[in-house]
Structure 1
């Protein structure tokens, strides 16, 4: 869908007033237009897309099997309400996507007016995209924790840490422990190493204490949906610390090394975490990250109010 320029300009102005790091909105490819009218009979526009995450896909470990995602083009958070009501009507008119389904909407974290609207419609803030702007050097931090590059020989330890992280995340966020989760995680770890992306391993008392995956990501105007300004960014894919070593400095040691290895000329770093996670919601702000976008979710899809 090609959005009318006036809708894009209005939303861009709203985003700019909310947060200087929000880019000009760009809708993803595909999907169907969804329209509504506000109380003043002003037309409102959104794009509705449905995605499936069948068995055997890595994305099924952090998503419902069937996801409907709304991409609104509105000039204020309150204007989401008529679009959400229209979305609810469409769900009633169409085939039930089942229990393993979800409605999602990604919206700027600082839009408090939108927060009230989304809560009224039954959405829960399950994930945030958090950013660490710039590449602040900070003071070197060392506590004696050995941190090294991980390799293929470390795969058993990496898989154990990854599965523990998935099981924890399933209790506090959108992750799902599927029947094939261990196989999918093992494949993802091998692919990461095969692509020569950095993966660090921290050790304590001769055992694997934690790991982190990260890489440099070049974002441009073709990135859809567009969530960050164009340029070179550091991306942190996953940080996992063994339960025995949590709150001991292992996570901080891993991130200090990861930040140091990323290109110095990057625009900043970004990652996703679950705000309901009592560990992540404390740890990541201490590393300099703050929410930019919040991913709101309703499961199952027909629980949308």
Structure 2
């Protein structure tokens, strides 16, 4: 019978073959252990970690109140191992009495492992989000724009414009992705934007004829020291937190012009690369971000509510 360490080693070896951009380590947090056997009798395991996102927390805007996250240890057993583990997880959730509302089951798995993706689809999961990466290559050329469009760093005086644009993005994302537009969203976004605009994290505004029409909230992440290190190769990365283009300016090239400036700044900073999260069901971001050079590295598979796991 394979041990958890042996399963982990085999799994990391498989990941290295699947995608050279995946980190060498796979996160195994503290949580409740889960064990199962495939139809062929092979042992697999996993850790279930539960997260609470109380009202008033920023995380409640993009996650349900209660999240059950599975960290599979299936070695090289791929689809068969994931299927067996999901069946055991379903029974586990039933025993634990998972909430029927405002809850989710979550599995984060390499985007290129399509065999295991089939098992997740069969379990009722939907690929709601993905972590995408981009090398620090020269930026794409942008289309010719009508009117006068300028891009500049935002400051504290731009708080109202930044909040308005980020709320528009949240409102749209809540229709097509994992986000939730809660009653306290305006206040939460304002507080977060105020902190960001007074920090060293860069925020850029695109203006047409002096009127803000797009925003890019970004930051810097040391993958060696942060939680992102579990998902990224070591080094300093640029992080694109939120990009929002006003509805009236979408499709005009403003977003592309904005990100050209952002990526130029990233390249000058000497980062390993840049990363972001986007929603595959979003008909705008799922097209826009690949055109900017981003490609999926990890996919976040979800079932909502948690009791819908099958």
Give me the whole-angstrom Cα distance separating, in 2, the residues matched to 1:27 and 1:196.
29
Greater CA deviation, 139-148 or 163-172?
139-148
Distance in structure 1 (CA, Å) of the matches to 2:194 and 2:292 = 28
* Residue of 267, 283, 287 corresponding to 1:282: 287
Distance 1:137 1:169 in 2: 29
2:33–2:45 CA contact under 8 A, matched in 1: yes
Calculate the TM-score normalised by the size of structure 1.
Answer: 0.94
Q: SS state of the match for residue 146, structure 1?
A: strand
| TM-superposition CA deviations, 1:35-70 (whole Å, max 9, x none) | 111123221111100000000100000000000000
**Can you list the C-alpha shifts for 1:129-153, whole angstroms capped at 9, x where unaligned?**
01112x1124665745201111111
The DSSP-based 3-state class of the residue aligned with 1:89 is helix
Determine if the alignment matches structure 1 residue 68 to structure 2 residue 74.
Answer: no
Secondary structure of 2:49 counterpart: strand
Q: TM-score scaled to structure 2, two decimals?
A: 0.93
C-alpha RMSD of the superposition: 1.7
Return the offset for 1:247: 0.8
The structural deviation recorded for 1:112 is: 0.9
- How many residue pairs match? The answer is 302
Which shows bigger deviation, 32-41 or 280-289?
A: 32-41
Aligned 1:20-35 pairs, distance under 5 A: 20-35=20-35
- Residues 87-108 of structure 1 show CA distances to partners (whole Å, capped at 9, x for unaligned) of 0001111223231100000011
Could you list the per-position Cα deviations for residues 60-87 of structure 1 after superposition, in whole angstroms to 9, with x for gaps in the alignment? 0000000000011222431101100000
Alignment match, 2:149: 145
List gaps (5 residues or longer) in structure 1. Answer: none
Question: 1:46-195 maps to which residues of 2 (within 5 A)?
Answer: 46-74=46-74, 75-78=76-79, 79-133=81-135, 135-138=136-139, 141=142, 143=145, 145-195=149-199
Closer, same or farther: CA 224–102 of 1 in aligned 2, 3 Å? same
What 5-or-longer segments of structure 2 have no aligned partner? none
**Deviation by residue 1:142-199 (Cα, 9 ceiling, x = unmatched):** 7452011111111111111111110100000000011111000001101111222100
Match in the other structure for 2:223? 219
Distance 1:82 1:60, change over 3 A: same
Q: Structure 1 residue 249: deviation in Å? A: 1.1
- Give structure 1 regions of 4+ aligned residues with deviation exceeding 6 angstroms: none
Note closer, same or farther for the CA distance 1:139–1:167 as it changes in structure 2 (3 Å cut).
closer
Structure 1's 173 and 82: CA in aligned 2 closer, same or farther, altered over 3 A? same
Q: Does 1:303 align with 2:308?
A: yes
How far off is 1:32 after superposition? Answer: 1.4
* C-alpha deviation, 1:25, in angstroms: 3.1
The 2-side partners of 1:76 and 1:22 are apart by 19
1:291 matched to 2:296? The reply is yes
**Cα separation, partners in 2 of 1:225 and 1:30, compared to 1, 3 Å:** farther
